[in-house]
A and B are shown apart, each in its own frame.
Chain A
């Protein structure tokens, strides 16, 4: 197990990208004090910043429903879950800031200015409580699969160490999502109809979360540098194999007319329309403008506190 104490105090250097790649291929772990190649620093920073932004915007999505959670203990649970998500963002922003590309404040201000990106799923509105359940059941599971695949290798030391905690906590969130879905699935007609409607809204955004197929061959630098251990399409396919039978088992309809099992019994999703994903990456999703504006407004309203504490 790596700890911060493992980070070398004298930065390592590499003669060129081939030398660096050989270090990675031999199982090397990059630490903040290393003289990492600019390309690696830039790509990994961008990936971690995106992850941090997504954790924060995810927490803000869930916070809106905490008061409405149907029960005192559920309110506590959603408080704890939101605390986890914001806590993940907090850790990730620190890891990203230590890479020396942007400060935490710069990252947050660019997020609230609409100049940086976050996961597609948090550009949608949670319309009912069942959307919260769909987020916990479908989105947390997709994020969990994606993050676990990064944690499996992840050659940037601080990110891997933080991911260990994040993945553990996301595992609890996923289990909680399963428990809540079970209550709706075995509940009243009102609850089942609510969840079916939510599933219809959230299925495709959850599938989109894995992204389009990874670039062919060896051209995805994040795979080449072993930040990501799996190609997008592999993760997406594993997700479909797991969640289609689960949802069918509960008697819910998946909004994909072309969904079918192939000759090997594998579930194959229909053709995927990537336009909604592209829209969210331009911050042009269905609820992007409201969500970013709300976060920006809150940031502006509390500027006086941050400014005062700097005196």
Chain B
């Protein structure tokens, strides 16, 4: 079936989020606190990039564009044409931030994919089921690790990371401009605001179980008007890193 412009915009936002979080997780491989963590982040980053590839190929197919254009589409758009959220884009300088980002993102990602499991497009619905199976492992990893650290004398470090990242985490739920059309068409059954409410409940529940005292400030507002069209600081450097080899020769096949 053919995707409406609204559906394309919505799926592009999810694809770009998966791409950027996968790229950022990649930076932590080999830098984790022990080998098992390096291995876990390798798996998670591969999964997230796999989700991005699945969605990008869906969008290419829908547009009648050959899949050989995957990398041009995924990597070489103008920054203003990406729809990723800032939480996925930013560079985390500390392992604690990276772990907390992984938890905040995957809590939301799980809910976002669930909202697509009954999608009227069967390919999207199938992608949703695959992604949810993988997300269950990502979430278990994040929850178990944070739960353990929260019970140690390093809990203040975790709280500081949550407080640092929470304001931009709300950008996960910045709806694309066309979301109302999608709801009207029945492509999705939950708005971003609905998903945000579920996410806040899940985050609060986690914090309560971990006995962490963090103020959750709902909906900071400054992101909503951007509609995912404004890139975070550091995006240009990230994109340059991703394009470092491809940009050496525009006609080369690598």
**Contact of A69 (CB < 8 Å), options: B53, B95, B245:** B245
Residue contact B30 to A79, C-beta cutoff 8 Å: no
The segment out of A2-10, A27-35, A70-78, A111-119 that lies at the interface is A70-78
Query: Which residue in B33, B70, B154 is a CB contact (below 8 Å) of A72?
Result: B70
How far is B76's CA from A71's CA once the two chains are assembled, in angstroms?
11
Complex contacts, B152 vs chain A, CB 8 Å:
308-309, 311
Decide yes or no whether A68 CB sits under 8 A from chain B. Answer: yes
A42 at interface by CB-CB < 8 Å: no
- Give Cα A58 to B162, complex, Å: 34
Q: Could you mark each residue 16-50 of chain B with 1 if its beta carbon is under 8 Å from any beta carbon of chain A, else 0?
A: 00010011001101111111101100110110011
- Decide if B39 touches A76 in the complex (CB within 8 Å): no
Asked if A190 is at the interface (CB within 8 A of a chain B CB), the reply is: yes
Identify the closest chain A residue to B99 (Cβ). A305
Contact with A along B237-254 (1 / 0, CB 8 A): 000011011101101111
Digit string of A204-235 for contact with B (CB within 8 Å is 1, else 0)? 00000000000000000000000000000000
Which chain A residues lie closer than 8 Å to B42 at the CB level?
Answer: 79-80, 82-83, 86
Whether the Cβ atoms of B29 and A79 lie closer than 8 Å is yes
Q: Kindly state whether residue B127 has any CB partner on chain A within 8 Å.
A: no
Instruction: Name the contact of B254 in the complex, choosing from A63, A74, A301 (C-beta under 8 A).
Output: A74
Q: Chain A residues near B75 (CB, 8 Å)?
A: 71-72
A302 within 8 A of partner (CB): yes
- Do residues B253 and A183 form an inter-chain contact, with CB atoms below 8 A? yes
Known contacts A190-B248, A191-B249, A301-B95; is-contact A71 B254 (Cβ 8 Å) = yes
Which stretch, A87-95, A139-147, A255-263, touches the partner chain B?
Answer: A87-95
Chain B nearest CB from A232 CB (Å) reads 29
Q: Are A304 and B245 in contact (CB under 8 A)?
A: no
Q: Known interface pairs A68-B242, A72-B53, A72-B75. Does A63 touch B249 (Cβ–Cβ under 8 Å)?
A: no
Does A60 make an interface contact (CB < 8 A)? yes
Residue of A nearest to B34 (CB): A306
Return the contact of A304 from the options B19, B38, B154, B252 (Cβ within 8 A): B154
A82 to B38, CA, bound (A): 9
Residue numbers in A under 8 Å from B27 (CB-CB): 67
Across the interface, which residues of A come within 8 angstroms of B53, CB to CB? 72-73, 76
Q: Which residues of A contact B130 (CB under 8 A)?
A: none
Residues of chain A within 8 A (CB-CB) of B52 are 72
Chain B CB within 8 A of A188 CB: yes
- Interface residues in B36-72 by Cβ distance below 8 A to A read 36, 38-39, 42-43, 45-46, 49-50, 52-53, 56, 70-71
Q: Does A66 contact B (CB under 8 A)?
A: yes
**Are A68 and B30 in contact, CB atoms less than 8 angstroms apart?**
no
B29 contact from A66, A180, A191, A305, Cβ within 8 A: A66
A187 to B251, CA, bound (A): 9
Q: How far is the CA of A73 from the CA of B50 in the complex (A)?
A: 8
Partner pick for A67 among B26, B35, B148, B252, CB 8 A cutoff? B26
- Complex Cα distance, B95 from A309, in Å, reads 14
Given A86-B42, A308-B149, verify A75-B49 contact (CB < 8 Å). Answer: yes
Specify which of A75, A191, A308 is in contact with B153 (CB 8 Å cutoff): A308
Q: Which B residues from 67 to 88 make CB contacts under 8 A with A?
A: 70-71, 74-75
B242-A67 in contact (CB<8A): yes
Measured CB to CB, the closest approach of chain A to B47, in angstroms, equals 10
* A15 on the B face (CB < 8 A): no
Closest Cβ of chain B to A52, distance in Å, is 10
Bound state CA distance, A83 and B45, in angstroms? 11
> Which residues of chain A are within 8 angstroms of B38 by Cβ–Cβ distance?
59, 83, 86
Judge if B208 is at the interface, Cβ distance under 8 Å: no
Indicate if the CB atoms of A76 and B252 lie closer than 8 Å: no
In the complex, what residues of B have CB within 8 A of residue A90's CB? 35-36, 39
Q: Provide the bound-state CA to CA distance between A194 and B46, in Å.
A: 28
The answer to the question of B164 belonging to the interface, with a C-beta cut-off of 8 Å to chain A, is no
**A68-B245, A71-B71, A190-B249 known; A76 and B50 CB under 8 Å?**
yes
Q: Please measure, in the bound complex, the distance between the C-alpha atom of A301 and the C-alpha atom of B28, giving whole angstroms.
A: 12
A70 near B246: Cβ-Cβ < 8 Å: yes
Question: Which residues of B are at the interface with A, using a C-beta cutoff of 8 A?
Answer: 19, 22-23, 26-27, 29-36, 38-39, 42-43, 45-46, 49-50, 52-53, 56, 70-71, 74-75, 94-95, 148-149, 152-154, 157, 241-242, 244-246, 248-249, 251-254
Other A-B pairs beyond A75-B23, A305-B154, A306-B34, 7, CB < 8 Å: A66-B26, A72-B70, A89-B35, A129-B245, A180-B254, A187-B253, A309-B152
A-B contact pairs, 10 of them (CB 8 A): A63-B29, A66-B29, A75-B26, A80-B46, A83-B42, A86-B42, A90-B39, A301-B94, A308-B154, A309-B149
8 residue pairs, one from A and one from B, having the closest CB atoms: A83-B42, A305-B33, A302-B33, A70-B254, A308-B152, A70-B245, A68-B244, A63-B30
